[in-house]
Each structure stands twice: as C-alpha cells, then as structure tokens.
Amino acid sequence: MKLRARLLDIKAGGRRIAILDEETASLVGVHSSDRVEITHKNKHLIAIVNLASDFQHNYVGVYQEVSAKLGIRNGEYVEVRPAERPEALNYVQAKIRGERLRKGQVKMIVEEVVERHLSDIEIASFVTALHIHGLSMDEIEALSKAMVETGNTLNLNETPVLDKHSIGGVPGDKTSLLIVPTIAAAGFIIPKTSSRAITSPAGTADRVEVFCPVDLTLEEIRKAVRKTNGCMVWGGALELAPADDIFIQVEYPLAIDPLLLPSIMSKKKAIDATHLVIDIPTGRGAKVKTISGANALAYDFIDLGQRLGIDVQCAVTYGEQPIGRAIGPALEAREALSTIMGNGPADLQEKATSIAGILFEMVGVENGKQTAEKLLKSGKAERKLRQMIEAQGGDPNVKPEDIKLGCKRAEITTEKDGRVLWISNKSLVQIAREAGAPKEKGAGVILKAKLGEQIGKGEPLFEIYAGRSTKLNSALELADRLQPIRLSKKPEERMLMKRVPTRIIQRKAFTPKRQSGRN
Amino acid sequence: MKLRARLLDIKAGGRRIAILDEETASLVGVHSSDRVEITHKNKHLIAIVNLASDFQHNYVGVYQEVSAKLGIRNGEYVEVRPAERPEALNYVQAKIRGERLRKGQVKMIVEEVVERHLSDIEIASFVTALHIHGLSMDEIEALSKAMVETGNTLNLNETPVLDKHSIGGVPGDKTSLLIVPTIAAAGFIIPKTSSRAITSPAGTADRVEVFCPVDLTLEEIRKAVRKTNGCMVWGGALELAPADDIFIQVEYPLAIDPLLLPSIMSKKKAIDATHLVIDIPTGRGAKVKTISGANALAYDFIDLGQRLGIDVQCAVTYGEQPIGRAIGPALEAREALSTIMGNGPADLQEKATSIAGILFEMVGVENGKQTAEKLLKSGKAERKLRQMIEAQGGDPNVKPEDIKLGCKRAEITTEKDGRVLWISNKSLVQIAREAGAPKEKGAGVILKAKLGEQIGKGEPLFEIYAGRSTKLNSALELADRLQPIRLSKKPEERMLMKRVPTRIIQRKAFTPKRQSGRN
C-alpha cells in the first residue's frame, strides 16, 4: 500500500529499518521484525519493520540508509508491501539446529547480512549457534570466500604480496610497526591493514595514527604501496569483508568470536596476500593458553590458507607478558620508533625479526632472521618507516621525543625486593584503559619490571600515563586493587596463586536443635 | 561528560537507546553496544549506545522512552558516562557455554531484560542458547517466578481461580469462547487473558474482539470479573510478565520457542490461577506430534504447576484437523456463538465440555463433563457469554447473522468423489492468512469437509472469505497450489504421501569415457 515517508535525519548504523505504527503494520500485513519492500520511482529495497507506538498512521519512518538509497524526500508517497522471508533464514535456523551448512547456504547468509536483510536479532542468533555448535572447515572456507566475494578487493596486480597478522590478546604488541618496514625495505610488497582497539588499550591502527593518518581509501593505499612497497592503514572503512564488520559488531557485546578464522583470512584474501605469517601469542594470559592449542589453531590457519590459495605459516610466540615495555598508542609508537632506530627492548626486536624472517624464507630469501636483523641495524628499515609515514601524510622526521604523552604521570613502586614471577596481561589492559587508552592516545602504562627481573625495595614496577588527573587516579586505584605485577624471591615463597572462591561464603554457625517449652 | 540532548520524537519499541556519533562516543569512552548512564536533574537511567555516523558532536540522541522517563527537553544538557557492564551478561555468557543457571542468576537476567539494560543482540543470544542447550526444571521455575515478580499481578483476592490455556497450533480452536462462560455460569471465577494471532489466522483475543473490546485495564478486568465471574481479554498490554513479551519479540523472527513453559505459566501465576487445565493439541500438523511427546510435556506443566502453587491438569486433545469448521476471527466468533446457542459442530462441543469438565472436577464438582453439557444445553452458558460481552462493552444481543464476514467469497469443489483422508492444518492457516486473517476480521476459511467424511464429485471442500477480490484471488491461487484437503476412496488408493526431495535433482546422463585422439 501507499504510505507517506517520514525521513528521520539520522543513520541507523547501516541497518535498513522501516518504522510503522501498529495499525499501519496491520494494514500492510506485517508484524514487528518482518520485512517489507519499499518502492519509490523504480528503485526498491528490503527493510526490516520496527513497530513504534504513537507513530503517525499511514506513514513509514525511514532512517538515512533507506531514504538516501531510494532518493525519498520527506512526505513523498512510497509503496510498502510485505517482502518474502529471506531463504537465508532457513539456513540460520538449520545452524541453530546444529546442521552443517553447505557452500551455497553459507553464501546466501553472508549476502543477506551484507544487504542488511537480516536483523541484529537474527545475526546474533546465528553467531551464537556457530559459537555453540562450532564450524566445520568446509563452512569456514565457505564463509571466508563469501565474505571476500561480497566486499571490495585491493587488486594490486603484484605477486608475491606478503602479510602478517596477530590473533591478538597480548598488550604492547607493536611488532607490525617493525615488520612492515623491514619487509618493504627488502623490496617486497606488504599492504598491511589493521583494526583499531575495541577491548585492548591499542590496535595497530591506533599506534600508526600517532605518526600519520591511517584512514586511506583503496586508491590511496595503491598509491602508497606503489611509492614505498607497503602501508599501515586502518581496514575498518575499506569494506574488504563488510559481512565481517557486521558480525564483529554483534560479537562484541557477547564477547564471543566464532568467526576468528574467516574474519582474519577473508581480509587477507581481499588484499590478495600470497604469503602470510599468523602470529599466535601463547601462554597464560594470552588468547591461546597452551602450545598444543596453538598448534591446532595453526593447522586450521594453514588448511584454510591452502583452500584460499594463500601460503600460510604460523609463529607461536611467547605471550605470558606484554611485548616490550610500553602499553598505549603513543607510548607504543614511541617505543617502536626507538626500537627501529636501534634502541629498544630485546623481546620486541627478537619477535619482529623472527616473524619477518619467516616471511623472507617463505619467498625464498635465505637466512631470513639475519636478513631482518641486518635491515634493522643498517637503518634501512627505519628509512622505509619514515618513507611510509610520509606517503601516508605524516612527518617523516618525527623523533621519539616529539611524541606527545599524557601529561599526568605516576609511578608504582614495590614495598619489598624480589624477582618478577607473575605479570597479568589482563590487569595491565584494564589499568591502561582506565587511564584513557586507546581513546586518549597519550595514556597507558610503561613497565619497569618484566618477568624474571630482580627488583629492589622501593624501585618502580610500572608507570601510568594519563591526560587528566581524574583518569590517573582511577587507574591508580585499579592498579592498587589488581596488583598486576607480583614479586617473590623464589617461587616456593608464593605457591598459592589464587583462592577459590575469592569471597568467603558465609555459613550459618551450627546451633544444636533445642526443644522449646513454649509455643 | 555533559552532552546536549537531541530528542527524537518517536519511540524505539520500549528500548532505551542513546545515539552518539563516533567521536563523542570516544570522548565518553564507550563503544557501540556499551551502556551509558544518563543523568538529568537527579533522575538517571541506563541506555545502550548506538553509534550513528553524521550525528552532531557532543550531542546524545534519545528516543521517547528515555526523554519521557528523565523529563528531558530538546537541547538541554545531560550527564552521560559509561555504565558498568551488567552482571547479568556474565550469566548470559554462562548459558552460551551451556552452564546451568542458578535462581539468583536467572532473576538478574529477567530483571535486566525488563529494565531494558540488555540489548536485542544479547537477548537473542540468550534465547538461542536456551533453545540449543535446553532448560532444567529449576531454571524453568526460576524464570517463571522472576517473570511474575517483575510484572503486574491481578490480585482478585478470590479462591479458587480457574483458568485454561492451549499451547496452540491447531486452527479454528475457539473452545475458550465456550469454556469461559460455562465455568463462569457455574459460579466459578475465570479471568481469561489471551494473545492475538502472530502466525495463526486468529488468536482468542481476535475472536472475542468481534463481540466486544478486549483491551481492558487490570481495574476494568477486576470490575468485569466482579460482575460476571469471568472475562476474555487481551493480555498483551497488561504487563503481567513483561519479560515474556520482550522474549517473544525476539523469538518470533527466529521461530524458536524455548520459553514455552515459563511464558504460559508466568501469566497464569500473575492472575493468581489456582486450578488450570492446559490443552495440548496432539497429532500430525499440531505442535506436539505424538501422545508420548504430549505426555512428557504434560508432566513438565504439572511439575512446574506444583512449584508455582498451581494445580495443573492437562488435556491431550485430537489436533489432526481444525476444531469445528470455521477459521478466521469473525467466522470463528460466529461459529462459537451458534454453538453456545445449541447449533454447532460436535467436535467443538465435545472438546469444550471435556476441558470444562476437567476444571469442574478439579474444584470438586462431580460429573464435570455432564455438568458442562447441562450448562450449555440449558442456555446458562449462553446467557453468561452475553453478560460477559456486555460487561466488556459489546452488544449482549448479538446474533450470529449480525457478524460481518468478508464480502468476497469463493467455493472450492472436488473433481472426484471420495472420503477425506488428509487435512493440512498448516496449509489452511496459510490460505486463511493469505485471504487477510487475522488483520481483516471477516477473512478466513469454512471447511465443508472434515476427516472421514464422504464427498461427492463437484461438492464443496471449503470456502474462502476475503474483504477484497485481490486477497481472495491470491488465497485461491495458494489453495490450488497447496491442496489442503485430500480425498481418496480407500487409503490404499493413495499410499504415497510425499516424494523426497520434492524437486527432481538433475543428474548428468551417463556418458562412457572416451579416449580422445586430439588434445
């Protein structure tokens, strides 16, 4: 039926929503969460019905996603009729029942997700079912391919294209800022896209943004790569695998991640990577806790790589403590710059050259690690980093001391001496975020003590940086409560690591039953 | 931080949403789907963050749910700060992992659902996890109780309070319209709340609405019950178990129903029912297919009833074909009225008096079924129905022929004679809905042939009623495709019921491999 359009001049986060009041929905013949086809001057799209009480009769409310696509002006008449239930919903339901989905079925779901024909409710249910029932490698392959096919691709027309990716989970991991220039300095193509932090204190995109803009378009990326062999950009707006971006939005509040493999690998396929190292930080406090767990995941990545035509090797890396000493965008950018200039922590150098070395050997360079080390020591990697910063619009002559840090600073010292036996990644992440990272680029934590180091009484364990004293104080309070770094002279002095449950359960004291004489 | 409020003058279906642009969200320190606390003049509430690109910086957009609750005017400043992640989310995640939830954990989830602190995404994930992992009876009890405690209650201060409920699934089931007046005519209290149709051609509320208003307030219900012992009203706006209403909104697009037991029983507890019969229509084409399945479900209802202090008995009823002959609100209302006036189909009378009879015997009336039959035959039930219609604001003197039916009508006849061996409930539902039911009250289907009846060539199988010829035609087309009623002289003439798969899979014809001389 014909309804008048009422334009809501905001966006609905990409969702295509049609707002109807209950009576108008009845007349159209739809219920909340059903789909309608909206037609306006030969253009049409499918939108999901939201019921709003007190909305005007015979009106359809549309956010900008719908009005822009159909070119509707406020008050114009549009045709609104019930749309067929998308076939993809049958496959969502099959997955809820625990069935294995076939290639075409997976593709249909991904297409309908990208077209915004499935609602948040339906996508959340699908993702939950995937998490509970698990995915077969055939499903993972089909998801990865469908996610690439429904998105943009970089099309550099070059080969080989090298890339690296970390599954994340360890704070302070700024190795990409060393690896990418090292690879590019040797003449190989490495167009690195990264994400911003969601739950961590800094993503690679946040770190790089301290030096230069990271929100390049695909055309700007091609130009930068032609100039410098590489780039370090934010992948979020490139629509390389837009289905993944939508899935991530739904996974985030649920804190589940069933699409880890297709999410990473679809973005690598979309930039045409031919040789890829996946970094799997492993250990207590990392996403993967054991070597055998890391091994199983590694073979999944390798298998999926073969199915997608990407040569994959995995680096299982030590993930029991932060990489280097800096946590937070600016602090990490400064540490990465110092390190590439020859003055940085050994673990960061070791990790970066090891991974770069594997990549080199994958494309036929002998003695990969030594090659990477030479490129670092000779200053070639540093020059390449500066070229890349310039190509992306930053200052190529930036010095570590130019980088602006949070102006409020506090130091946490120890009350007794001992050796560092325990560092909690999770607690450090919380403290750095409480101080303002990643939103405030200068906020974060500098570790003054790392595992195995001997610390004297009164010496600093870590520093907190923040932009405002309120932030600094609440980070300090949190640090006091969480105690992220624990010392002991010998392990046997502190064998009890946790008491379960943490809180003492109150039990009634035992009182013998008495016969009462009265009622 | 202080943000200016921008009021969006529509409702968000009860959801509490705060719209922020990305930069402002960064400054507040929240991500999409996080929660913020909004404070305005000593009032505050928790809202869920939706990011909108192109939204003004330093503004927070709020729908009417938030602005009304906090009394915000457009452009006023409000305080917006990150809110703690609700503890209930931990228990949602525990359920995703397949853990059993404890009473207090279930209660917390239900409270946060009602307070709108959980998003659609989180609720959808919870409901999906419940569907996949199943619920223990302890969890079902906890959910039912929490759903009652977070809603309104009727508080009649009378006992006993009788009630009946059908789990649904069979079209044409207008038995409540006979049972409620029969019970009330005998002097027992029966305050019946029902739902409207969502996926069926008519709910009890839709049928009753043909006679009188059904959207009574709790106070109006108390008044009606005081006057007539009973009522038949729509339960949807009474907030008897508001959590259930929210769960149902999420379950509907997913077509899953893990909360069947708590959903029904919480609403019964909320009206203080003491004696309840649950009707479980059983058979091919019903929700429950087998007697043993019905039995298991029945004992779950009885067990849950004991835990809630409700005396429950279940009626496992024949559900292989529609009840009576009419499907669609007005057609069914007419059939119910005729039947209570002494002129209706035998199956409808039998079912209604059987269930009323069980209720009578539960409260100590001997020979329950005969008692019910006498109340029907004597006209007492009819007089009570007319009193109830009057008490709810309808015409007590309504005659069956007064009821307005769809003005377009078509008859489907058979091309050969035979006995009715097969009726598809599902197909009849689809045809009645295609004709316009339940939105168009006069639309629907009248069966002219029921299971076992002998039909001669050229005689009618069923009629379709619709309000417009376009609707009638598309219902006719669907009827032609679905053929909801199948005839045969003897079963052995038509043993093949379905071919699987329905469509023939194309296979390549076999061609022997040849050696090719050329390349």
Q: How far A195 CA sits from the closest chain B CA (Å)?
A: 14
**Is there a contact between B11 and A125 if contact means CB atoms under 8 Å apart?**
no
- CA distances (Å), A510 to each of A513, B176, B320, B485, in order? 9, 55, 60, 71
pLDDT per 10-residue tile (average), chain B, 519 residues: 92 91 88 93 94 89 94 96 93 96 98 96 98 97 98 94 96 98 98 91 97 97 97 94 94 93 97 96 92 94 97 94 97 98 95 96 96 97 98 98 97 92 94 93 97 93 96 96 88 66 54 50
The DSSP annotation for B120-173 comes to: HHHHHHHHHHHHHH---HHHHHHHHHHHHHTS-------S-BEEEEE---STT-
**Is there a contact between A8 and B11 if contact means CB atoms under 8 Å apart?**
no
Q: pLDDT at position B519, please? A: 44
Tokens standing for residue B275: 């004696």
Find out whether B45 and B117 touch, Cβ atoms under 8 Å.
no
Q: How far B96 CA sits from the closest chain A CA (Å)?
A: 7
Upper half-sphere CA count for residue B482 (Cβ side, 13 Å): 20
* Residues B443, B429: Cα–Cα separation, whole Å: 12
Task: Characterize A356-389 residue by residue with b for buried, 16 or more Cβ atoms within 10 angstroms of its Cβ, and e for exposed.
Answer: bbbbbbbbebeebbebbbbbbeeebbbebbbbbb
Element (H, E) at B480: helix B469-482
Which residues in B lie closer than 8 A to residue A93 (C-beta atoms)? 254-256
Q: What is the ipTM of this complex?
A: 0.88
Stretch 19-38 of chain B: residues touching chain A, C-beta under 8 Å: 19, 26-27, 29, 31-34
Between CA A437 and CA A448, with CA A442 as vertex, the angle to 5 degrees is 85
Q: How far B431 CA sits from the closest chain A CA (Å)?
A: 14
Among 1.10.520.20, 2.40.40.20, 3.20.20.60, 3.40.50.920, what is the CATH number of B2-82?
2.40.40.20
Could you give the 3-state DSSP secondary structure of residue B284? coil
Q: How far B487 CA sits from the closest chain A CA (Å)?
A: 31
The minimal CB distance from B11 to the residues A8, A26, A54 is found for A54
Nearest CA in chain B to A437: B29
The minimal CB distance from A32 to the residues B32, B249, B255 is found for B249
Q: How far B6 CA sits from the closest chain A CA (Å)?
A: 11
Alpha helices in A186-287 (DSSP H): 204-208, 218-228, 242-254, 260-270
Pick among B1, B10, B34, B99 to test the A interface (most A CBs inside 10 A): B10
The minimal CB distance from B121 to the residues A31, A129, A253 is found for A253
Per DSSP, what are the bridge partners of residue B79? B2, B39
Which residues in B lie closer than 8 A to residue A253 (C-beta atoms)? 33-34, 89, 119, 121-122
* Residues B267, B123: Cα–Cα separation, whole Å: 20
**Is there a contact between A252 and B33 if contact means CB atoms under 8 Å apart?**
yes
**Is there a contact between B439 and A13 if contact means CB atoms under 8 Å apart?**
no
**Is there a contact between B249 and A19 if contact means CB atoms under 8 Å apart?**
no
Ranges of residues in chain A with a pLDDT under 50 are 516-519
- Report the catalytic residues of A: 257
Find out whether B245 and B191 touch, Cβ atoms under 8 Å.
no
Answer whether B137 touches A (CB < 8 Å).
no
Which residues in A lie closer than 8 A to residue B250 (C-beta atoms)? 121
Which residues in A lie closer than 8 A to residue B475 (C-beta atoms)? none
Answer whether B474 touches A (CB < 8 Å).
no
Answer whether A180 touches B (CB < 8 Å).
no
**Is there a contact between A33 and B253 if contact means CB atoms under 8 Å apart?**
yes
Q: pLDDT at position B9, please? A: 83
Q: Tell me the per-residue pLDDT of B247-292, one tens digit each, with 9 for 90 and over.
A: 999 999 999 999 999 999 999 999 999 999 999 999 988 999 999 9
The minimal CB distance from A128 to the residues B13, B33, B129 is found for B129
Q: pLDDT at position B10, please? A: 86
Q: Which of B138, B215, B257, B311 is catalytic?
A: B257
Q: Tell me the per-residue pLDDT of A162-182, one tens digit each, with 9 for 90 and over.
A: 999 999 999 999 999 999 999
Q: pLDDT at position B237, please? A: 87
Which residues in B lie closer than 8 A to residue A250 (C-beta atoms)? 121
Which residues in B lie closer than 8 A to residue A128 (C-beta atoms)? 96, 124-125, 128-129, 132
Pick among A7, A128, A434 to test the B interface (most B CBs inside 10 A): A128
Q: pLDDT at position B488, please? A: 83
- CA distances (Å), A260 to each of A168, A220, A425, B43, in order? 11, 28, 21, 42
Which residues in A lie closer than 8 A to residue B125 (C-beta atoms)? 124-125, 127-128, 254, 256
Q: Under CATH, to which class is B162-238+267-400 assigned?
A: alpha beta
Tokens standing for residue B431: 């045809």
Q: pLDDT at position B494, please? A: 62
Q: pLDDT at position B507, please? A: 52
The minimal CB distance from B8 to the residues A8, A29, A198 is found for A8
Residue B75: left if φ>0, alpha if ψ -120 to 50, beta else—which one?
Answer: left
Nearest CA in chain B to A119: B253
Tokens standing for residue B394: 């309808």
The minimal CB distance from A11 to the residues B53, B92, B127 is found for B53
Amino acid making up residue A287: K
Query: Which fold would CATH assign to domain A162-239+251-400?
Result: Pyrimidine Nucleoside Phosphorylase; Chain A, domain 2 (3.40.1030)
Q: Which residues, including other chains, have CB under 8 Å from residue A481's CB and lie 6 or more apart?
A: none
Q: What is the CATH number of domain B404-493?
A: 3.90.1170.30
Q: Where do the structural domains in chain A lie, given as residue ranges?
A: 2-82, 88-134, 162-239+251-400, 404-493
The minimal CB distance from B120 to the residues A93, A120, A127 is found for A120
Answer whether B54 touches A (CB < 8 Å).
yes
A vs B: CB pairs below 8 A: 132
Answer whether A84 touches B (CB < 8 Å).
no
Is position B257 annotated as part of the catalytic site?
Answer: yes
**Is there a contact between A124 and B121 if contact means CB atoms under 8 Å apart?**
yes
**Is there a contact between A122 and B98 if contact means CB atoms under 8 Å apart?**
no
**Is there a contact between A127 and B125 if contact means CB atoms under 8 Å apart?**
yes
Q: How far B54 CA sits from the closest chain A CA (Å)?
A: 7
Closest CA to B193 of B182, B183, B180: B180
Answer whether B18 touches A (CB < 8 Å).
no
Q: pLDDT at position B490, please? A: 73
Find out whether B24 and B3 touch, Cβ atoms under 8 Å.
yes
Q: How far A258 CA sits from the closest chain B CA (Å)?
A: 12
* Residues A504, A512: Cα–Cα separation, whole Å: 23
* Residues B36, A11: Cα–Cα separation, whole Å: 20
Tokens standing for residue A480: 């006091």
Nearest CA in chain B to A14: B52
Superfamily of domain covering A88-134: Transferase, Pyrimidine Nucleoside Phosphorylase; Chain C (1.20.970.10)
The answer to whether the predicted template modeling score (pTM) of the entire model surpasses 0.95 is no
**Is there a contact between B55 and A11 if contact means CB atoms under 8 Å apart?**
yes
Answer whether A437 touches B (CB < 8 Å).
no
Pick among A6, A60, A117, A132 to test the B interface (most B CBs inside 10 A): A132
Stretch 96-135 of chain B: residues touching chain A, C-beta under 8 Å: 96, 98, 119-125, 127-129, 131-133
Could you give the 3-state DSSP secondary structure of residue A48? strand
Q: Which residues, including other chains, have CB under 8 Å from residue A220's CB and lie 6 or more apart?
A: none
